[in-house]
Structure 1
Amino acid sequence: MKIAIVGAGNAGCAHASMFTRQGHDVNLIKTSNSLHDENFNAVLEQQGIYYEYNNEVGFSKLNLVTRDLGLGLSDVDAVVLMTQTLQHEKLSKLILDNLSPSTKYIFVIPGYLGSLYFSKAESVTVIEGESTPYDARIIEPGRVRVLFQNVRNAIGVLRQCDADKALSFCQSLVPTYCKVRSNIVESALHNPNLVVHTIGAIMSASRIEYSSGEFWMYKEAFTPAIWNLIEQLDSEKNRVISYFKGVGSPYVEECKFRNERDLEQNAMDVFKSYAMEGGPKGPDSVNTRYIYEDVPMGLVLLESLASYASVETPIATSLINIAGSLLGVDFRDCGRTLDSFNIYSLNELVGR
């Protein structure tokens, strides 16, 4: 297929190289002038991306590298939106204005209900992603290193009648896609960053600042006392998922689902193994996307859904308040809520 990836950061570049490796023609579109400009200029000059994956080093020649959204979306079969979720609302309007008649799929990954911004695209299968299947970092301009690949991945679908073709499409991109959630609320709230990024960064704020770049969150942050917070936030999350007719599951079980082939393994052992072997270094500042993105897009969304469902969320609410105090930001003022989508019908959230 011909695929447009919107977003040219770590995730966009890694997945552009991997999708090309799978045999697809990929257009890589950069939409900002803030992050990763030097890398994008190198990719533009060489018209592709050097990648390191397991023991393989290769070069993925891209079909198109551009900042022109209209050009990049022309005549593509699918659009994969891989920017920070903070940009979803703005970019969804631009994408819809430039959407090609040939486009059959829009995949928003990670989602945090970002798929709802595309609800008017009725002839398109709209898919909600959770965590990206590849964890990767740009290691120098024009070169990306894939650090980790999930064993399994799940998706949500805006309209549940599209579930089979959505899953087939995702499997053509990455074979590890294997499951469709009950609805997009279930998918949005099973984004692991909602739990571990927020708690790990907020509760480690002093350690992050003291360590001067030598902090490893997955190895250091999740002590037994912090795990109590994770379990309580999980409980709030799962009560909301249940209200919206989805299937709740603890973070640690979802971590095992994504990362461990043998599902008979103890989930906590799987998490500890990932933390020691696969968990990335950082963050190196409290002003991190783990807070400035995952709090307003994740925790504020959870709090909004919980308010609709009359579910109390004292842990989520406290984390939002503390994060706002740490960074001096009103995250509710800039956060994602049901009002962001003008959604007032339960049916629109559960794919009916």
Structure 2
Amino acid sequence: MPNQSDSENDTPCKKSKKYLQKYKPEWEREPDFLGWIGRCQNPYEAKCKVCNKVINIASGKESLRRHATAEKHKRNLSKGYNELHTLEATSDSDDSTTLDPESELWGFYDKEPRNRAKCSMCGVIINRHPDTLYQHLKEEHSKVSKTLEFNDRDENYTEIIYLENPPNEKTERPVKRKRREKRDHDDLEDFGKYVVGLLKGIPEEQCTELQMSIVNLIMTAKKSVKDDDVLDREESIEQVQEPTKSETEDPITHEQKETKDTREKPRKRYHEIGSTDNDDHIANFGKYLTSLMKLLNKETSAEVQLNIVNLIIGTKLQCLRKTKNKFMEIQTKLLLAES
């Protein structure tokens, strides 16, 4: 028995191995470390890009969390990384990943060097890949991410959500189309105001001829549109405008004028005032132009807008040439009279 106990005491105890934590690139995508940690040459260290400080991570990620709660780190982070990459501001390479300019994701980020993007809401600088940008919005700004219209890659993601929860997806799709239609109508209203500004510098006679040409141009384009929904809306507008056309085309006798509804009298007075004030007349034409343009599809509308602008600019150039020629004639007559 003594020999057995002695042999047990003589056996060496196994030493527990201590695990050393190495840097992992996937930490850069975690919300707690997003945008401010980076790799060092030493695999057991990480670098804070905001504080420009090396952190020992051999004991684990807890050291990174302690650094994230430090007051100095919070102050540097709140500045929005104004001093980050100031010494390395270079143009992006040709093979860098770029966003589609029409993508709604780009409205929430600013371009940064080295294929990175800066969040305009929180100042975090991350990789410019669309998946990374959308993931940041989803995790940090969830309310904003719900309003995005996704690109082809994101559409696969939305289809998965649609299979899991069909009612929510069905109610969201019409809202997106209404929001896009509202933006299109706002663009048409801005175009109407632009046309009004161009017409105000043209003499009244040429301005009236231009308005007739513009209306004919839109009506011709409308006839070529074969969309059933557009054609139905055309009929409703034509029915509203039929009384005004009949009043201008059909002769009205003296008895008909006396029996006409008294509600027409304010309209006549408004017409007389509008004829004396050309600016008000042009402003009303701008509103009418906008209502007509809303009946066209997007492609036809863009083509018609270009033709309208070319027509107005061409007329303005002709007016300027006529004014110049008249001035030259008057100057020539004065010189002849002096001689």
Shorter-chain TM-score tier: under 0.3
TM-score normalized with structure 1 length: 0.22
Whose Rg is larger? 2
**Bigger fraction of residues in helix:** 2
**Bigger fraction of residues in strand:** 1
TM-score normalized with structure 2 length: 0.23
Q: Which has the higher contact order (CA 8 A, sep 6+)?
A: 1
